[in-house]
Structure 1
Amino acid sequence: MTNKTTSAAAPPALHPRPLALALSCAFAALPVHAQDLQDGAMPVVEITGAAPRANGLLNLDTASGTGSRLGLTPRETPASVTIVDRAVIEARGAQDTQEVLRAIPGVTAHNAPGNIGVSYRGFGSGSISQLFNGINVQYSIAARPVDSWIYERVEAIGGPSSFLYGSGAVGGSINYVTKLAGPRPMSEARLRLGSDDLKEASFGLNRMLGGDGAGRGDHYARIDLNHRDTGSWVDGVKSRSTQLAASLRSDFSPRFTHTLAYEFQEEDVDRPYWGTPLRNPLAGELRIDQATRFKNYNSADGVYDQRVHWLRSIAGWRVSEALQFTNTLYAYDALRDYRNVETYRFNPGNSAVIRSAVFLQRHDQRLVGDRIDGVYRGRIGARRSDWAFGLDYSVNKQTRFPNSLAVTVSTVDPYDFVTERFFDIPGMGPGFRPDRDNRVSTTALYLENRTALLPALKLVTALRHERIELELTNRRELTAASPASFERRYSPTTGRVGLVWDISPGASAYLQYATAADPPSGILTTASFADVRNNSELTTGRQAEIGAKLDFWQGKGSATLAAYSITRRNIASQDPNNSALTQLVGEQSARGVELSVGLQPTRQLSLQGNLTHVDAEYEDFRQGGVSLAGKTPANTPSTVANVWVSYAFTPALQANIGVRRVGKVYADAANTLTWPDYTFVDLGLSYQFNRHVAVVGRIRNLTDRVYAANLSATMAYLGAPRTADVALRITF
């Protein structure tokens, strides 16, 4: 449903999008030949230059390092595990990591510059671990959208997973896995042009540097590079981003390998978009003024910049067929700068926009750690029993340099206005002044086991114990509320126990119980003195889940079904006797069902879809002195559905369509403000000229649907309108 407006001003004409119109005509004129539609009539073609043709079946039999350290497949794991591999990423045209997340059942995400939001199983970003190659940087903003070119796959496990990755994973864990050097030679490139002055170039190369290919002195090098320049559908926004992933793998012997991996990510956004003001009255179903859909109320020289460096040293030693060790030494360095006016609201008569919330901010974060993992494959009596065990130590330090003004900067005409340069705002000047250092030291021991109780019945268990030391150092004036320093220590123990029953060779059922620990304020690396002093414990999470995974239709179909119940206790709730204080008495719950289905009826046709429903609510929570028991957390849709259909008209010509529907959400915890459900459609068309050259065209949000990817009390962070792009892919 398109949002209505009562503005007397006529909305401006939408931005012209000739590329989208041209692609629409191409889809309408798509040739269909009867002989190409016969099942089995087409020879198999290896599409190496174009987007790979993804198999419609669910990825249930590929080992996943995210759901278990034992290397179990999703079918073998007593949990909901999703693998979005490279073929799926390419086939669906996912531009960045945010779009990849759409393939995970029930996940919604947005990329507002200062508030990277993900909702998973009824919980938000502070209760979801977003990992990079299994490493948790403990900061949600670190999961800024990164171009998908450098990633091999994205994996996810739904529900509590602190027993694998540490505190902060009640709703689930999402793991972004980077491409690494390996034996398979590869060289590819992509050029992409699109709406809003999109210009992108990508390159990838993997080669053997020396050796005999037998694992003795073999060396492999890989580099993947991507650069993008683009404007935006919002006035004044321009961005540049560069991603580099380079790695060197050395097989010193068949038993010992080492990989050195480096990643660089850079993002520079001029005048970033923070949202569109909502029309008054702010009650019931929210609306925007269509004439402001493309307006940007930020300062004329607003900025968001990010630089990220990753370095990993990965050593693998296979002691024997039964025992192997992996040691990962890692270092992460990130610097983020903000310079913006971030909040906009209409005046009561909707005749002017009031601009406020001035922020000059720097985040300087460094993470250093080492993790040693061991896997032992043995037996207990006559039954197979496999073990994973390890030790992880890390030091995560972040310094923040905030300078903000809670003042009205200006009141402007909603449709015709000019904004100031940032440092012309009274009280703002160049330079950063540190506020405090947050230093989080974590030592963790973990153990995981899978034992065959019966040939068809496996018991999967895991246990993790952490020692977390949080140190806050004040870098500004000392007060009673902000002392020179403060320390807090936590010692959570979390675990999982699950059973997997192999009903038949293609079907299994499981049940599990898992626990988790979560910081009350969401993230320890940004916790304030008030957070740490008032919240002496971590919150606790509990989940019970039951599900099934099966193949059907003589191997042409696959499906997963899961039902779960999660409870998070001891969340910070307002003291009913003193609104300035919080107590660890709150409780939040989520109960839901997830269904995923994949079909490959013929060689030409593939279908995948998922449907999720979650009933998320506060069981015990107060805000503004009012109980919110029974209310749904903001920006949490109860239903999310996705369908993807791919059809090959000829061996060279393939079309696909994706349909996504997201249920209504609330903008406030009191559930008085709502945004309606919405549906958008993406189309894709690829043509393989030969085995080395292909062209891929896409239209995103075909119907130009206006929708809110995130809501606050006065603004909607809108999703992109209809856009289109064409990519030329080559291998050589």
Structure 2
Amino acid sequence: MPELISQSTALSGVSGLVPSIPRLPARPRRRRALVVAALLAGTAAPLSAQDATRSSEDNGETLLLDTITIEGQGAADLDLHQGSTAGSRLGLSSFETPASVQVIDGGAIRSRGERDVTRAIVNTGIGVSFGGSPGNGGTSVSMRGFNGHGSVTRLYDGTRLYPASGTITFPFDTWSVDRIEVLNGPAGVLYGEGGVGGAINVIPKKPLTEGRRDELRATIGTHGQRGLAYGSAGPLGDRLAYSFDANITGSDGWMDRDNMSSRSLSAALRWQATETLALTLSHDFGDNRPSRYFGTPLVDGQVDRRVRYRNYNVEDSLVRYKDRFTQLKAEWTPNDSVTLTSSTYHLTSNRDWRNVESYTYGPGTGVVTRQPRLALAHDVEETGNRTDITIESTFGNIENTATFGFDVNRMKYVRLRHTPATDETTVDFLNPRPGVFGPYTMNIINDSKMNQYSLFMDDRIKFNDQWALVGGLRYDNVDIKSREPAYTKKFSSTSWRIGAVWNPVPDVAVYAQYSRATEPIGSALSLSESQADLKLTRARQQEIGVKFGFLEGRGDATLAAYRIVKTDLLARDPDDPDVTHQIGRQSAKGIEAAIGLEVSPTFRVNANAAFVSSRFDDYVQPGGDYSGNRAANVPHRVANIWGSWDFAANWTARAGAHYVSEAFTSDANTSRRPSYTVVNAGLQWRPQDNISVDLNIENVANRLYATSGRDTQWLLGPPRMATLDVNIRF
């Protein structure tokens, strides 16, 4: 008898785990209790004044949630003025920024056994839920009621990554990550069109001009997991400094016939040419062969546990991404009040796959129908420059910091697709014989170029110790020329934001902001001919919030409330279904919170939760009138909790839980995926000051759960998995 995926229903104490009832729907009281407990349960972490760019692995783990930093064995000194680029280009601290920003430290990520960048964001981020699949590179997430790469912008070291047909993986490895900066809410004023739900900026490790870093990690684990990583950084004389990080991983996979592997490299050389001018040349490379599991077919809307580990893809399936990113960054500081930064970069991305991706179970037949056979190749090339100047000035008692700049880039995109000889096959449900993909030819279906330039400014006026005004403005101009299909498209957009911050006392910041943003219909690089005449969708957000520290720096908390309205969605004319207009509207409103406390010098806990109400206000589609429905893959509630306990000399135990409420599998809202809670745990032993041994276990309870998918098939999350890391610093 097929069984439903189980779900958790409560979160209690530090562990955040109470086993769940096995079937849907969950009881509303228990679901509410889970989220309330995630907010009130233990709390988050001691606050530290350590530099955000320093790896925290020497001290355990570090995490900043708006104004929250977690130190594994560090001091509990409060520093609410740590600079960040997440919410502005002005280097403001979280207290100074009228937005919800989050900085996740790379050392904290690695100490918890997180290998994948997107998984690390989901398991730590405020209000972030996973919607990834091989078809979108496994990197799609939902934030503030909006999901997908178009609504959540991805960046690497400040450079925007364009997915092109919705697929991107770079950067995928956490080994070379210094920190991940997350902005919740529209990001258009910082990064241009798109990003209505938020933006994620992954920042790699940098050269060290002082001190030295040498580290080695060896990994073994269940399901054939293995890996070897090396990192080094430090000065090379008085004017040169370097960093180098490389990682090789492999796995047999927890699914049938799903071996995975990856290679990554990040290297940089910094030259202090003069006392005021520094040049940094960096190169990053990634070769990623991730999972080729596309989902499990459902029986009567449920998952049959007997096929939990069955892979219905063909035997010679292929998913591979190769990325290269080269950047030359110049930083000129002629005096203490002026800083000029210019980055010239070149990025290439090659993506190849051949798979059978869709599976439908035939009731009573014991047979699964597979279709279509799909072979694709993407070649993406991006070259650009981003330059800005920051000027600090004082007029009487008023302080002003302003940034002015421009961003230019040129994109090339070629997409090839196969012509199948056959398009449909059947396999046995319980024991599928995979077969092979078969012969195919490739034809160009997209060949386009995009030229873009942007002008932007950010400004902060500090009137006194209590009041500040922060604003931003950006203009984007985009010119697309496509040879296949043949069309030209030009559009421009203006995004802006204005916000105020009030500090009634030093450790309290109350803020409010209003922002405007735009977003294209689909990916700008791969528009269809029918989309070429469409205009950008538009969005607006109102947000208020408070951030504060308490208990003399031992605790802190953040709270934000927002409302986002997105208009000009594609919708059918109610009076004539054959006519399409940009008359649709989608909205979301919600509350996000994070709270933390150093319970004792050896015990630290942090928790965050998000509540979102998302709906289509006006959305008529070929399948019917979806007005009033919730968007697919958008849960109502998301919560995280993590605890760290130094229970003995040189020993640290960690545990955490990630909860996601139920979500609809399509905009029609005809079926749902169950809610789930995944509990992870870890144990660290430090036999010497420079050696640590980490045991990390994912999905401790071995829950069967789904993270994404549609009405007929779900993508299941991993079962219980364990890794053992030996870390050596020398």
Short-chain TM bin: 0.7 to 0.9
Q: Tell me how far apart the structure 2 counterparts of residues 441 and 219 of structure 1 sit (CA, whole Å).
A: 35
Partner of 1:694: 692
- Once the two structures are TM-superposed, the CA of residue 575 in structure 1 deviates from its matched residue by 3.8
CA distance in 1, matches of 2:4, 2:235: 59
Letter in 1 for 2:225: L
CA contact (8 A) 2:194 2:518 kept: yes
- CA shift, 1:405, in A, is 4.7
DSSP-derived class of the 1:362 partner = strand
CA spacing shift, 1:571–1:50, aligned 2, 3 Å: same
Q: Give the alignment partner of residue 443 of structure 1, picking from 447, 453, 462.
A: 453
1:124 aligned partner, one-letter code: N
* Residue identity opposite 2:236 in structure 1: L
Structure 2 length-normalised TM: 0.88
| Structure 2 partner of 1:503 | 504
Residue of structure 1 aligned with 2:204, choices 173, 178, 195: 178
Aligned-pair CA distance for 1:394: 0.5
Question: Could you tell me whether the CA contact under 8 Å between 1:49 and 1:688 is conserved in 2?
Answer: no
- What letter is aligned with 2:704? V
1:237 is matched with 258
- Secondary structure of the equivalent of 2:255? coil
> Residues of 1 paired with 2:579 and 2:93: CA distance?
46
Q: SS in structure 1 opposite 2:231?
A: strand
Q: Does residue 1:109 correspond to 2:130, yes or no?
A: yes
The residue aligned with 1:14 is none
Contact 1:110 1:710 in 2 (8 A): yes
1:435 alignment partner, SS class: strand
Contact kept in structure 2, 1:693 and 1:728, CA below 8 Å: yes
Note the C-alpha offset of 1:145.
6.4
1:711-722 equivalent positions in 2, closer than 5 A? 711-722=709-720
| Alignment pair present for 1:204 and 2:231 | yes
Distance 2:372 2:171 in 1: 24
Is 1:52 equivalent to 2:60 in the alignment? yes
Give CA-to-partner distance per residue, 1:1-58, whole Å, 9 cap, x none. Answer: x9439xxxxxxxxxxxxxxxxxxxxxxxxxxxxxxxxxx9xxxxx9987772437871
Find the counterpart in structure 2 of residue 247 from structure 1: 268
Q: Deviations over 1:42-95 (max 9, x none)?
A: xxxx99877724378714532111211000011110000000012321333221
Task: Tell me by how many angstroms 1:676 deviates.
Answer: 1.6
Aligned residue pairs total 663
Match of residue 189 from structure 1: 216
Alignment-derived partner of residue 318 in structure 1: 333
**Among 608, 611, 619, which residue is 1:610 paired with?**
608
Partner secondary structure for residue 612 of structure 2: strand
Q: How far did residue 611 of structure 1 move? A: 0.9
CA contact (8 A) 1:608 1:643 kept: yes
Change (3 A) 1:293 1:578: farther
Name the CA shift for 1:569/1:407 in 2 (closer, same or farther; >3 Å). Answer: farther
1:136 counterpart letter in structure 2: R
Report if aligned partners of 2:410, 2:452 keep a CA contact under 8 Å in 1.
yes
Maintained 8 Å contact 1:48/1:731: no
Residue identity in the other structure for 1:186: R
User: CA–CA distance in 2 between the matches of 1:174 and 1:350?
Assistant: 45
- Are 1:49 and 1:693, in contact at CA under 8 Å, matched by a contact in 2? no
Query: Does residue 296 in structure 1 map to residue 320 in structure 2?
Result: no
Query: Who is 2:550 aligned against?
Result: 552
The reply on whether 1:591 has 2:599 as its aligned counterpart is no
CA distance in structure 1 between the aligned counterparts of 2:60 and 2:110, rounded to whole angstroms: 6
Give the 3 Å change call, closer, same or farther, for CA 55–141 of structure 1 in structure 2: closer
In the alignment, what sits opposite 2:191?
165
Tell me how far apart the structure 2 counterparts of residues 496 and 686 of structure 1 sit (CA, whole Å). Answer: 44
Q: AA paired with 2:454?
A: A
- Give the whole-Å Cα distance in 1 for the aligned partners of 2:396 and 2:383: 41
Q: Is the 8 A contact 2:402 2:460 kept in 1?
A: yes
CA distance in 1, matches of 2:63, 2:375: 47
Match of 2:707 in 1: 709
CA contact (8 A) 2:55 2:178 kept: no
Cα separation, partners in 2 of 1:4 and 1:109, compared to 1, 3 Å: closer
Indicate the residue corresponding to 1:283 in structure 2. Answer: none
- The aligned residue for residue 386 of structure 1 is 401
CA deviation map 1:408-463 (0-9, x unaligned): 5322211123122112xxxx42x532222122211100011000233310000100
Deviations 1:643-667 (A, max 9, x none): 1000001230000000111100001
SS at match of 2:711: coil
SS class of match (1:61): coil
Whole-Å separation in 1 of the counterparts to 2:336 and 2:459: 17
Percentage of pairs with the same residue: 30
C-alpha spacing 1:158/1:601, structure 2 compared with 1 (3 Å) = same
Tell me how far apart the structure 1 counterparts of residues 578 and 374 of structure 2 sit (CA, whole Å). 24
Secondary structure, in 3 states, of the residue corresponding to 1:301?
A: coil
Task: Name the CA distance, whole Å, in 1 between partners of 2:501 and 2:365.
Answer: 58
Unaligned runs of 5+ in 2: 6-45, 47-53, 70-79
Counterpart contact for 2:130–2:141, Cα < 8 Å: yes
* Counterpart-to-counterpart distance in 1, 2:55 and 2:379: 43
TM-score by length of 1: 0.88
Structure 2 residue matching 1:87: 3-state secondary structure: helix
Assess, with a 3 A threshold, how the Cα gap between structure 1 residues 3 and 176 changes in structure 2: closer, same or farther.
farther
Whether the 8 Å contact between 1:339 and 1:422 is mirrored in structure 2 is yes
Per-residue CA deviations over 1:246-298 (Å, capped at 9, x if unaligned) read 000011222110100100000125x7100001112xxxxx3111111110111
Does residue 655 of structure 1 match 2:653?
yes
Of 684-693 and 88-97, deviating more is 88-97
Q: Distance in 1 between matches of 2:380 and 2:175?
A: 25
> 3-state SS of the aligned residue for 1:74?
coil
Gaps of 5+ in 1: 6-39, 41-45, 212-217, 281-285, 475-481
Partner of 2:156: 132
Per the alignment, do residues 174 and 181 of structure 1 end up closer, same or farther by CA in structure 2, a change over 3 Å counting? Answer: same
Q: Distance in 2 between matches of 1:411 and 1:635?
A: 28
Amino acid in the other structure paired with 1:304: V
In structure 2, relative to structure 1, the CA distance for the partners of 1:55 and 1:713 (3 Å cut) is: closer
Partner of 1:366: 381
CA shift digits 1:341-394 (9 cap, x unpaired) = 111010122621111111010010000000101100012443001101101000
SS at match of 2:83: coil
Let me know the Cα RMSD of the aligned residues. Answer: 2.0
Q: Retained in 1: the 8 A contact 2:63–2:105?
A: no
> How far apart are 1:574 and its partner, in Å?
2.9
